[in-house]
Amino acid sequence: MLRIGKWFALHAFWDELMVPGIDSTNNHKSREDAARELVQKVLLAPELLHDPSVTSFVADGKYARKSWGSWELALDGLVERLSRLEQLEDNFDRTLLTEKLESMRELAYGASHEINNPLANISSRAQTLLRDETDPERRRKLATINSQAFRAHEMIADMMLFAKPPDLVRENVNLSDLIAQVLEELSGRADEQGTALLVTGTSDDCWLSADATHLSVALRALCRNSLEAIGAGGQVTVSLVAAEDSVELSVTDTGPGIPMEVRKHLFDPFYSGREAGRGLGFGLSKCWRIVELHGGSIEVGENTNEYTRFTIRLPRRIEQPKQSSPPLVA
């Protein structure tokens, strides 16, 4: 059985069918390279299988013979099998995600019940002691206890949001106002680390139907991720581009780039990796979940050492006022 990338050739005659190619330096190509090229050709132009004038596939110096009879049937069947394997793989991924979400939901419910109550007691005691404490060092430690208890509570809430998000409460939202509000909330942290918060492209008439609370959470998560990535200095720029039927909301930071092996896991809440300078907790996963609930998409731009850009695309629609029914008269 011949391995072709992530696919397997399932036909017994496949190995006989392949003719390794020769590159520009007259070096023989491996059978795997030739097989991969043939599969790409077949997938891109399956009609060539039935063209009597074509007896070989040629590309980049690699040759693969197209024979007749059982060979043609073998290739034709391979195309069908590859398509079927791709469907099965997609179904498996969806099933796996569903099972993971169900496991996360159960964990979040258990954590909410068993952990939130002790956390509330810890936070309450710390706040009580903090009010009467005068020693600066003890006050600092008590404040840390309180903030960490709140952080743990927030993590459990994030798990609940991702695993079983509440229904959206849509309203007509002015994105310009929403951006200004989120950046105002983060201005204190930005000032502490000397990072400039900039806004471009906003206007007073950029409205869309959305859940304002959840959308604020998503934007805040992206901006916090950027601030954490930069660490000190630099700038974070939020830009808004409005079209007739959609809007683009981008967050660009001057922090370090994201390695390719990490990029594919950016929005995966089950990925435990953590790249230096850029946290990969629930923040980005939460953002992806909220955008998905709004029928939008989110992507990270091409890798660069100069900046990192996340772009949210949302459908733009305005909710019409609902006509309330007149009260019934007895």
Query: At 283, which CATH number?
Result: 3.30.565.10
Residue 283 identity (one-letter amino acid) = G
**Residue 231: left if φ>0, alpha if ψ -120 to 50, beta else—which one?**
left
Q: Are residues 123 and 191 in the same domain?
A: no
pTM metric for this prediction = 0.57
Q: Are residues 229 and 285 in the same domain?
A: yes
Could you give phi then psi for residue 160, rounded to 5 degrees?
A: -65, -40
Which one, of 97, 86, 33, lies nearest residue 271 by Cα?
Answer: 97
Q: Are residues 136 and 24 in the same domain?
A: no
Distance, CA of 73 to CA of 221 (rounded, Å): 53
Specify if 135 maps to a domain.
yes
**Cα torsion through 281, 283, 286, 290, rounded to 10:** -160
Distance, CA of 310 to CA of 314 (rounded, Å): 13
The position carrying tokens 């007691």 is 121
Residues paired with residue 58 on neighbouring β-strands, in sequence order: 63
Q: 3-state class of 255 per DSSP?
A: coil
> Which H/E stretch holds residue 64?
strand 62-65
What pLDDT was estimated at residue 197? 92
Specify if 92 maps to a domain.
no
Q: Are residues 195 and 269 in the same domain?
A: yes
Distance, CA of 133 to CA of 89 (rounded, Å): 60
What pLDDT was estimated at residue 14? 40
Residue 118 pLDDT grade (very low, low, confident, very high; cuts 50, 70, 90): confident
Average pLDDT over residues 147-152: 82
Specify if 97 maps to a domain.
no
Distance, CA of 38 to CA of 54 (rounded, Å): 13
Average pLDDT over residues 79-97: 69
Domain count for the chain, please give it: 3
Specify if 96 maps to a domain.
no
Q: Which is more confidently placed, 267 or 254?
A: 254
Distance, CA of 287 to CA of 29 (rounded, Å): 45
Q: Are residues 241 and 150 in the same domain?
A: no
How far is the CA of 266 from the CAs of 8, 134, 154, 282, in angstroms?
Answer: 29, 44, 20, 10
Could you give phi then psi for residue 199, rounded to 5 degrees?
A: -130, 135
Return all residues near 298 (Cβ < 8 A) that are at least 6 apart.
Answer: 267, 287, 288, 291, 310, 311, 312, 313
Q: Are residues 225 and 149 in the same domain?
A: no
Among 4-8, 148-152, 164-168, 288-292, where is mean pLDDT lowest?
4-8
Domain end among 81, 105, 124: 81
Q: 3-state class of 184 per DSSP?
A: helix
Check: CB of residue 99 under 8 Å from CB of residue 163: no
Q: Which is more confidently placed, 308 or 43?
A: 308
The position carrying tokens 């404040």 is 143
Q: Are residues 195 and 228 in the same domain?
A: yes
Residue 308 pLDDT grade (very low, low, confident, very high; cuts 50, 70, 90): confident
Structural domain of 299? 171-315
Q: Are residues 218 and 279 in the same domain?
A: yes
Which of 78-87, 92-101, 131-140, 255-264 is modeled with the greatest confidence? 131-140
Among 103-107, 122-126, 182-186, 235-239, where is mean pLDDT lowest?
103-107
What pLDDT was estimated at residue 71? 45
Q: Which two tokens stand for residue 280?
A: 């990969």
Q: Which two tokens stand for residue 93?
A: 């991924």
Specify if 329 maps to a domain.
no
Q: Are residues 152 and 182 in the same domain?
A: no
Specify if 235 maps to a domain.
yes
Q: Are residues 146 and 267 in the same domain?
A: no
Check: CB of residue 182 under 8 Å from CB of residue 219: yes
Q: Are residues 185 and 241 in the same domain?
A: yes
Give the pLDDT confidence of 196-224 residue by residue, as tens digits: 999 988 666 788 889 999 899 899 989 98
What pLDDT was estimated at residue 120? 84
Which of 2-16, 42-56, 229-243 is modeled with the greatest confidence? 229-243
Q: Are residues 227 and 271 in the same domain?
A: yes
Average pLDDT over residues 134-152: 87
